[in-house]
Amino acid sequence: MNSTRTTPSVEASLGLKGLAQLRVLRAMLRLGAFTRKELATHSGEELTFVNAVVGRHKDWFHEKDLVSTGSSGPRERRMVLRAEHQAELAKLLDSMYKNAEEDVPRPSEPVHSYIPTAIEFQVVTDLVGSLSEEGKAAAGEVRRVLRLLEIASGKEGLPVSRNFEDYLTQDLSSASGTQKMARAHMDGIRSKLCFLSVPEFLGSDPGAAFGFHDPIKFGLAFLGSAGISFTSLGAGKQIRDLDLWAEQHASPVMLRLLTNPEIGRKGWREHLLSTVQSSEFAKLVPRFVEPLGPRRFEIIDPTRVARAQSRVVCTIVEVNPFGSRPEVRYATQRRIRQASPGTIPVMVDGPKLLDGLISIYSANYHPPENRVAALVNVRHTEVQVAILKGTSLVVSKTIAPPPRKDSMFGKTMVSSGRMPIFAAGGKHAVHEKNFLQIELKKIMKFYQMSPNAEKISAVYVTGETKLRESVENALRSNLGMSIQALDPAKSMSLEVAGFSKSENVTRARRLAPEIGIALKECWTLNRKKLLEQELGSDTAGAARLLFLK
């Protein structure tokens, strides 16, 4: 059957002749007991016509008490189809269907706008809507919704199974376009149910209560299945709606799982990450995967304006915070005119760079609470120094020569026209190194004189490669303490494509504060998303009422 054509409805296939009668008789069979007005409503036919059909088959019914109709007109007598005439009515209806013309395309709306009309599907839509507001679904409700979907599937002529997994593998190649649309809608609902049931799987094992054991696996599978079907049928709006739902209701739950791996179950994390970070999934449901995938930041230092005045120096960092260890996927510097689409711009200043430095140190070294360490980030224009106890900043300083003219290096020095200030070589290098050492010693002395000061266990140096090596060596021979290059690959994956492992480390060291900023921003965004969800669910909970519904 051509997938772009709809299955003929009864209305279309019968033509006008006999259609009205069929509708009334069908309503009689479906209802079993009714008033004439109910028959008219159910069949969509005029009351006079209904009266005529009922009159023709009087002996099929027995009449009961008068009932109210809720609208103008007299009260009505309820009629009951006699059980012994039910088969006769069904037979008559069957002959009418037989005479119907088969395979007439329905000249109605396009396939991609088809929504299953079965009441069970409508019920399920509302149930899942209210479960979404609550942010969870209990086992009983999930099972009931799945059962209702089975009934709705049957009404759509789709294969029915009591086994949840079967719906992912059924062959729909001979199904009509509307049937495929119906299935895509139902897969979307199945996916929602799976995601909504995740909170119920976090406690004790629910066993077979839900009818499935792995809500993440099936949630993603049905989401993917619905997405592919909608896309292939040209149902752009439907896939966008599904993506929007997933962004609002599933992403926060997934984010919670990824940021707290201990609350999930074995295997969830890997499966989730491999699926949501695949390019196919990102194309199908971009809003859903966006918070769960890598994030790209453009870290802009407004004080570093390139010679061409309209451009600023920007560090582009892509990090994936959810791998088994945080992963830097990309890190480079460029001169840009404006932020690129799809990236998150971050403006930096001295304190923010210092934050980044602390962040990358913490992410790699996970220092114990009482460990004191000094971080030194050497840049051509300035040197940032931070002394930390655990991950808490105790003392910090930015060492930079005065902007214009000073006598700090022991003799009058004109700095204008000389950029960068600190350099690995050249005629001022010795003075600059001495100046740096003096300043570093001052800071450390200042710290050590403070109350509760403890021994600095190590100094970690990072920054411009040549300069860092030079400063590192100078400090090693002068400070008399453990001096190490900061290792950004200690607990992080550096996977910048096209670079060797050592080049990756060198680059990461050079851009350490910016990478740290990107990591920190990532965690902040995730926390914000989780907080938004918590606030949202609180509001929805407060708004629920149990009065006459």
Partner 1 sequence: MFQPKKLTLLDEKILTAKALAFDVFVLHERAWLADRAEAVERLEQSVDGFGSLAVASDSTERLEEFLDHGIAFLESSLGPVLGDDSPLLLVYVSHLNQSRKKWLPISVQAEQWLGRMQKLGQKYLGQCSKEKLTVPKVRLYSDMQQKSCPLHGLGGLTDEEEGERVIWIFYFPPDFCLEGYFSIPYVLSHEFWCHALSGLAPKGAKRKSKSELFGCSPRNIFEEGWMDYVQFKILEKEMEAILGESSRVATFQDQSEAFHQLRNSRSGYRPVRYGALAARQFHGFLEQYADQLKVSDPDALFFQVSMDLNLLPGLADAKCDLVVEVGQHLGVFAPEEKGRSFIERNWNKNVDEKRKWLAGEIGKALKDSYLSPVDLFKILKVKPL
Positions that interact with partner 1 (CB under 8 A) = 7-11, 13-14, 26-27, 29-34, 41-44, 64, 67-71, 75, 80-83, 86-87, 90, 93-94, 97, 100, 102, 117-120, 122-123, 125-127, 129-130, 140-141, 143-144, 147-148, 151, 154-157, 544-549
Q: Minimum distance from CB of 232 to partner 1 (Å)? A: 21
Q: Which is nearer to partner 1, 98 or 266 (CB)?
A: 98
- Cα distance between residue 99 and residue 22, in whole Å: 11
Q: How far is the CB of 187 from partner 1 (least distance, A)?
A: 19
Is 7 or 197 the residue whose CB approaches partner 1 more closely? 7
Least distance between partner 1 and beta carbon 152 (Å): 10
Query: Distance between CA atoms of 531 and 508, rounded to whole angstroms?
Result: 31
In angstroms, what is the minimal distance from the CB of 230 to partner 1? 21
Tally of CB atoms within 10 A around 125: 17
CB 13, min distance to partner 1, A: 5
Closest contact distance (angstroms) between CB of 194 and partner 1 is 19
- C-alpha closest to that of 536 among 11, 190, 153, 134: 134
Q: Taking the complex as a whole, how short is the minimal distance between the CB of residue 173 and partner 1, in angstroms?
A: 18
**In the chain, what is the straight-line distance between the N-terminal and C-terminal CA atoms, in Å?**
44
Rounded to 5 degrees, φ, ψ at 533 are -65, -40
CB of 12 to partner 1, least distance (A): 9
DSSP three-state, residue 94: helix
Q: Measured in whole angstroms, how far is the alpha carbon of residue 68 from the centre of its chain?
A: 52
Least Å distance, CB 68 to partner 1, is 4
Residue number with CB closer to partner 1 (70 or 417): 70
Q: Which is nearer to partner 1, 196 or 316 (CB)?
A: 196
Q: Which is nearer to partner 1, 34 or 460 (CB)?
A: 34
Token pair of 399 as six digits: 């060492």
Minimum CB–partner distance for residue 127 and partner 1 (Å): 5
The smaller minimum CB distance to partner 1, of residues 32 and 351, is found at 32
Kindly report the number of other CB atoms within 10 A of residue 41's CB atom. Answer: 14
Distance CA(13)–CA(78), nearest Å, equals 32
Which of 33/244 has CB closer to partner 1? 33
CB 2, CB 102: distance < 8 Å: no
Long-range contacts of 22-25 (CB under 8 A, 24+ apart): 22/93, 22/96, 22/97, 24/49, 24/50, 24/53, 24/54, 25/53, 25/89, 25/92, 25/93, 25/96
Q: Based on CB atoms, which residue is closest to partner 1, 157 or 420?
A: 157
The tokens for 448 are 């050590």
CA nearest neighbour of 372 among 251, 275, 457 = 457
Element holding 316 (H helix, E strand): strand 312-320
* Shorter beta-carbon distance to partner 1: residue 416 or 547: 547
CA 87, 92, 95, 97 dihedral sign is negative
Complex with partner 1: residue 14 or 456, whichever CB lies closer: 14
In angstroms, the CA 58 to CA 42 distance is 19
